[in-house]
Amino acid sequence: MSIFLAIRVILLLQLMSVIPPKSAGEFEQWCIADEQTPDDELKAATDWACGSGGADCSKIQMKQPCYFPNTMRNHASYAFNDYFQKFKHKSGSCNFRGTAMITELDPSNENCRYEFIP
């Protein structure tokens, strides 16, 4: 039986040498507002994230770097992502009652950087 185990290990090692490793960037994820969610639902979810949820929403306040574009969707996305990055390793999720979704595309723009915590 040990010969079969040895053959399996050799085959597995050969297979691993053919499959390229994933780069670190392939694992980056951000949490953003779902485009199909109405503003009133986004507002309620954002209020929770910025309040009881513990997200730092100071950057989406007037005269702060993530205030523009001044849309409910953009403010919600920033709040959702802040919460998600802080709590994803402690069973936090990107759901917000179905108003959010995961993306692998960095939603940051030239003025507003969305945090990513590996």
Quote the pTM value: 0.78
Query: What are the structural domain ranges in the chain?
Result: 23-118
Instruction: Tell me if 49 sits within 8 A of 55, measured CB to CB.
Output: yes
Structure tokens that stand for 82 in this block: 């802040």
pLDDT digits (tens, 9 = 90+) for 8-59: 656 555 655 554 454 555 589 999 999 999 999 999 999 999 999 999 999 9
31: three-class secondary structure by DSSP: strand
23-118 CATH pick, 1.10.20, 1.20.58, 1.10.3470, 3.40.50: 1.20.58
Residues in CB range of 9: below 8 A, 6 or more apart: none
Task: In whole angstroms, give the CA distance from residue 29 to residue 21.
Answer: 18
